[in-house]
Amino acid sequence: MNCFRGFIAVDVKPSSEIYNLGREIKQTKTDVKLVEPENIHITLKFLGETQEELIRDIEEIMKESVKGIQPFTVQLKNVGVFPNKNYIRVVWIGIENSEKLRKIAEYLDEHLTRLGFKKEKKSFSAHLTIARVKSSKNKEKLLRVIEKYNNFEFTTNRVDTVKLKKSELTPMGPVYTTLCEIKLGTT
């Protein structure tokens, strides 16, 4: 039985402002791993180890999750951290007007349980992961960059597809492959 590391997401086209944020984070010489621009996305549901034989069933649930939802835009605004400023693990950009994303994510979370996927413990929080922090080296410099971009409007992003993706972890970073794509407004 073949498995893959899977997740359901919305791709985001990186803007010059997102590139600038990444460059400024890198200049802090903080011990971080920036997300490659081509890999930036909004995760709707992390699946983890997924059996290939479930792809069609997952695709059907994805189609149901976007039923009646037309393409829409979200605003990428603000920068923050998970879990908190004392112990930074992730640097993220926030998503405004994310009600439709939340609706899709909650549907996926609820209905994928019948395929054996675990329900999320935390409620959905729409965000883009920009960097993963490995240690507290130069944390104060990183916090200054985060503060600079607090309340900053990066760009808007059109949401017109939801994708099932396969993540292959490599020494150079993850490689994402789209396994299926559901267009909004077609069901």
Helix (H, G, I), strand (E, B), or coil: what is residue 9? strand
Active site residues: 41, 127
The order of strands in the sheet holding 127-133 is 32-34, 127-133, 87-96, 72-84, 153-159
Please tell me the distance from the alpha carbon of residue 120 to that of residue 128, in angstroms, as a whole number. 18
Helix (H, G, I), strand (E, B), or coil: what is residue 148? helix
The answer to whether 34 and 26 have CB atoms below 8 angstroms apart is: yes
Residues 6+ apart with CB under 8 A from 42: 9, 10, 12, 74, 95, 101, 126, 127, 128
